[in-house]
Structures are given as C-alpha cells and as structure tokens.
Structure 1
Amino acid sequence: MTNLDPHPDEQVCVAGPAADVELVEPRDVPLGGPRAMTVRRTLPSRARSLVGPFCFADHYGPDDVAATGGMDVPPHPHTGLQTVTWLFEGAVLHRDALGSEQVVVPGQLNLMTAGRGICHSEEATPARFPDRPVLHGVQLWTVLPDSARHGDRAFEHVLDVPTVTLDGAVLQVFMGALGGVASPARAYTPLVAAQVDLPAGARLTLPVDATFEHGVLVDTGDLRVEGHDVAPAWLAYAPPGRDALVLEAGDAPVRAVLMGGTPFTEPVLMWWNFVGRTHEEVVDARAQWQAAIAGDRAGLGRFGEVQGYGGPALPAPELPNVRLRARER
C-alpha cells in the first residue's frame, strides 16, 4: 500500500516520553479518488511515530468493494522498509519489480522488503475478486536498520502462519515469536506481530518480551489493555519493561493486532513512501523514481518495474519547500 496523499507531511520519527499506557487515536485517510476506500491510520501520528520498528499502521474495512471500488493502487516505490500485509477478510493481488505475483488471503502473510528500492502494485477490486466482496485488514511498515536498508529487494509469502491457543485466546503469529511459536518471515530487528482473537469475557495474561515496546490495534470488540479501555481502530501503546500484557474482552469477542519490538534508535525520516535518514536521500529517491517511470535506465535499475498491472505508475508528489529533517530517538 502507498501513501496517496498528494501533499505528504515530513514525519520525524521519534517516540517521545512514554506514559504507562498511551492511547493513539486513528485518523481517516482516503486512498485516492472520489470513491476512495478510507483507511484508519494510527502510525505515524502526532502522539507516536514508532512502536519498535513499526512506523506505519493502516487499518481498513470491513469495506464493501462494490460500493467503494476497493483497493487499486498503481505501481509505486518504497525504500528502507518492509511492507506487511495481513487480512481479516477479502484478498489482495500483489505484483512487484521482482516479478512476484501473489494473492494473499486471511491467515497468510505477504512481506516485501524494499532494501535500496522496489516498486509494487496492489489490487482488491470487484472485477479482480468477484467472490470476495469484503476487504478488511491491516498494512504495517517496519523500518529497516542501516545494516539492511541499502540491501537487495525481496518478497516472501507465508502460506501457513503459526497459530497457538493460550487460555482460550487464538494467536496467529505472522512475524517474530510469541506464545511458543515463531513465524518464518524474515525480520531485520527483534520484533513481533500477531493477530489476537479473544472470546467474549475472556482475560488473557500474554507473556511478552520485556525488552520490547508494544502496540495493540483493536479491530473489533471492546478491549481493555492493562486496565485501559481501547475502542475499535485505536492503538494502545505499552513501553518496555513488562513481561506480560493483560488483555480483557468485553461482552463481545475481540480481534486485535499486536505489534512491537525493541525501541528503534536510529534516526528515521519518512516522506511519502520513502524511509531514509536524510533530506538528500529522500530527494535522490524521488528523482530516481520519477526517472524510472519515464523509462530512465538508472531509475529502473534502482526501483525496477511492475509487469502486468495494466496502467501507469504513480508519480511522486512535489517535495515541500523546506528541508526535511530526521532526529535521533
């Protein structure tokens, strides 16, 4: 997924001081066009930019794709990050510059590593998937550390995500390790991501890594995280230091996504779909993407091109008339 805002803000990713539990309110973001699908974005936000290496969290649906048109995102670039696609309902077709063409459905993971540069497209339209009328899920981005962000692009599809049941709660662990199971998905810093399903009235004391900070993004139901009520689409943040998180469901079943990792201490600068460290890096990435969509060999060498999408690539927005800055955490 791309950030389709034609005037994207610079995001200086710093965590800020952590309370016992912080609640991050989502904001609605349309994904382009008058019939756009609207997503609810909690990362990055004014309240919090990062949870471990997770720097971006979009939560969408349940969306009637016949009414909205669904998701149809043209080829667009990424640098310095991984895209993590996880669905509750529906299907998304991913194509990328490596030649990958992979449908992802609930219970499976699509994970794309941008490295120095990649481009991809995403489709979840009524024409593409007439038998899957509802689209519902999350897309997360993780920041790559300096040791990996200049590396090769990669894509992997995890068909069988490990699942475990703890005290009646079902955990689908799609990145990292939790509850005694571990995902085979590639990660470059210590992290975890999992879907957590709680029956109505259930109380789960979930063992977690005390060196991690954690975020709990609620999809459905009323959830209490460490005694704090968290409404659907909101994110609850818990700083490092806990070896367990207490999750309590209300009168209805709860579905949530847990994400976390060790605090990311490198400076991070996000603008549009690029994650870098300096103004010059972002300016260079934008220029090379614009060159790539014009057919320039050097730009194509960095980002490649998507075959089979059937439409033009997405041009980058204009840069702001200020210098972009990154800060240490």
Structure 2
Amino acid sequence: MAGAKLWAMSNLETRPVETECEHTAVPESGGRPVVEVLEAREVPLGGPRAMTVRRTIPQRQRSLIGAWCFADHYGPDDVSTSGGMDVPPHPHTGLQTVSWLFSGEIEHRDSGGNHAMVRPGEMNLMTGGHGIAHSEVSTPATTVLHGVQLWVALPDDARDEPRMFQHHVPPPVHVTGAVVRVFLGSLLGQTSPVRTFTPLLGAEVVLDPGAHLVVAVDEGFEHGVLADTDGVSLEGVAAARGAMGFIGPGLHSLTLANDSDAPARLVLLGGTPFEEDILMWWNFVGRSHEEIEQFRREWQEEGDRFGAVVGYQGRVARLPAPELPPVRIRPRQNPPPPTSPA
C-alpha cells in the first residue's frame, strides 16, 4: 500500500480547525417544517495528492442533524492504480463511527481487538467513547471505493463508554419503486439491532427512475437526505449529487423522489435534536478546548486511553496528531430549523 492516495472513514485533514457546535432549541412556532439544502464543500484529505471528499456537516449553515455530527461523501474513485487506502492507527473520542460503502472493501482493525471487513450493504459501527484507535486498509481486490463516512456524537452520559464494535447486515426491504436498507433505527417495519445512545435513523434508499416514496417517520426527528446521485428530492426540493436536504421535526412522513430517468441513491439520516454543546477537532469530540488538548497529548504520548492496534502492517506505525490551532474559535450555533407559516 505504499504511495496510497485515498483515505476515508477518518478525518485526515492536515490543518483541522476546532468546531464548537451549540445546540438550539426547536422553536414552538407551529409552522410547517421546510427543506433547507446544505451544499457540500470539497475537503482534501491527507495532502495535495490525496482524495477530495464532499462534506455537508458540520458547516456554518448547520452543525448537527440529530446526533449526526460529521458526514463525508466520496467516490466513486478508481484506486486500482493509486495504491488504494492505507490509514494508519489513529484515535477517536466521544463519538461513534459509521462505515457504509457502496462499492469496494476495507479491512478494519481496532484497539478493542476487533478485525472486520467493511463491505457494501454491511454496516460497521465503532464506539470510541473514552478512547479507541483503529486502522483502515482497502483490500487488494478493490478497484473502486465509493461510500459515506458518518460520525455520531455521544451524549454526556455516554461519552466515556468503553470500546465497542458492532456489525450489521440489514436485509433489503423492497417497496414499490425502491429498495431500502435500514442500518440504524427503524423504518418501514425494519429495526436495526445496533446499539446507539440517542434515537437515530440511518438508511440507504435506492429509487427507481421517476419513483416517489412516502415513508412514515418519527415526528420528533429532524432528518437529512444525502444525495449520492443527481435526481434526488426531499419534499419536492431537489438536492444535487453530494448535497444534503435538511428538514426539522414535526412531520409524520417524508416524500423522497427520483426526478431522473436512471436509478437514484440517497442516505437518509435522522434523530432527535442533540441538546448538548460539543467541540470537534481532528478525530476527537469533546466539550472544551482543554479536553481536546488532553486527548491530543495522550495520543502523542501513547497513553493507555487509546490502546494499541494489533496486526496493522502499513507505511507508518501510527498517525501523529496535527498541531492544535493557536487560538480558540467562536462557537457555531445550529440555527432553528426553517419553517413556513402555519
């Protein structure tokens, strides 16, 4: 894997900034929720020759959707000549990582002793509350990598949870005009057995050409629809490939549509509004600048918090943390979900 050019499932920005996400209470306006389109911004990972991903959250417009605090969309990228993915052991705190692929295969190892493959249609969820480290390497047979990288912020009463790894293969649910795979939460009569610490929804939806799908949802959830292809719309509002349509709580159902003449794919995310302030930097979620400093110091000093990844054989033994920014940044507050008059 020498000379690898592509990374995913982790934040490998060389100059990450701290992001403080302040929650905002949902207004009791009685208005009907309306769709807000979050345009993706391109983020290069790992240096000038590395992969560029499309990131929709966090951003200035919106930092969180439920407890979902990070969403990158990448590929399809031909890695047959680039050396593929080789991410050395690196740390996480205060979050759960959700690995979901559309194509390709990735080998996962973590300091909880877990060794597993990430494959299309199979969800791997890793809990790094108190601290965990893991590595990710694409398999030799992989020619195209394509998928999403998702993080879930842990609430304060669960952010010190021990290392945990869960694997789930959701069965395809065939409904008129669509195939749905529910990897977290409940939808269309399917419930994922995977443990989360706040109410969440995660599902892949593939819509037939011209199809419209109405799905019943929890009215207390806010939702995001990440478009993997063109043609996707939420409640009649189009989201271009890589963008995300966001809608606040208050609806009993959502209308998902494919306005193109080819199949369209989307990832539906949801959850109750996350009512805590968090700070994100690099691969850590914490509550203060001082806490992030401590996490970084313990990783650099190879402390016990993160443990050791056994079996990784790659370009370097472990990924060093970037330098912390010299100043604090101002908090980013989630604005209230947009609504129309009642």
Which of 207, 213, 233 is equivalent to 1:224?
233
Hey, what's the Cα distance between the residues in 2 that align with 1:280 and 1:327? 18
Partner of 1:285: 295
Native 8 Å contact 2:231 2:239 kept in 1: yes
Structure 1 distance, partners of 2:47, 2:317, is 16
Query: Given the alignment, which residue of 128, 132, 147 partners 1:118?
Result: 132
Deviation at 1:75, TM superposition (A): 0.8
Is 2:223 the counterpart of 1:214? Answer: yes
2:327 aligns with 322
Bigger helix share = 1
After TM superposition, which residue ranges in structure 1, 4 or more long, deviate above 4 angstroms? 15-19, 324-329
Q: Which runs of 5+ in 1 are unaligned?
A: 293-298
8 Å contact kept, 1:35–1:68: no
CA distance in 2, matches of 1:68, 1:43: 27
Question: How far did residue 325 of structure 1 move?
Answer: 6.4
- Structure 1's 15 and 64: CA in aligned 2 closer, same or farther, altered over 3 A? farther
1:34, CA displacement in angstroms?
4.2
Question: How far is 1:162 from its partner?
Answer: 3.2
For 1:239, the equivalent position in structure 2 comes to: 248
- Is the partner of 1:289 in helix, strand or coil? helix
Q: Which amino acid is the alignment partner of residue 20 of structure 2?
A: V
Please name the residue that 2:305 is paired with: 302
Match of 1:169 among 173, 178, 188: 178
Higher relative contact order (CA 8 A, sep 6+): 2
SS in 2 for 1:110: strand
1:262 aligned residue (252, 269, 272) = 272
Deviations 1:235-275 (A, max 9, x none): 00010111111111122211000001000001111011110
Percent of pairs identical after alignment?
56
Partner Cα distance (2:35, 2:309) in 1: 42
Q: Which residue of the partner structure matches residue 12 of structure 2?
A: 4
1:15 Cα offset (Å): 5.8
Which residue does the alignment assign to 1:90?
104
| Inter-partner Cα distance in structure 2 for 1:325 and 1:283 | 17
SS at match of 1:302: coil
Q: From 96, 118, 140, give the equivalent of 1:129.
A: 140
Shift of 1:66: 1.9
1:221 shift after superposition = 3.2
Tell me the TM-score normalized by structure 1: 0.92
Is 1:57 the counterpart of 2:71? The answer is yes
Which residue number corresponds to residue 295 of structure 1?
none
> Is the partner of 2:215 in helix, strand or coil?
strand
Task: Tell me the SS of whatever aligns to 1:236.
Answer: strand
- Partner of 1:303: helix, strand, or coil? coil
Q: Residue 5 of structure 2 aligns with which residue? A: none
- Shift of the alpha carbon at 1:165? 2.3
- 1:180 equivalenced with 2:189 (yes/no): yes
Consecutive unaligned residues of structure 2, counting only runs of 5 or more, are 1-8, 28-32, 335-342
Q: What is the Cα deviation at residue 92 of structure 1?
A: 0.8
1:312 CA drift (Å): 1.9
Q: Identify which of 14, 21, 36 aligns with 2:35.
A: 21
| TM-score, length basis structure 2 | 0.88
**Paired residues, number:** 317
Please say if residues 268 and 277 of structure 1, whose CA atoms lie closer than 8 Å, have aligned partners that are also in contact: yes
Residue 185 of structure 2: SS of its match in structure 1? strand
Give the RMSD, CA atoms, in angstroms.
Answer: 1.8
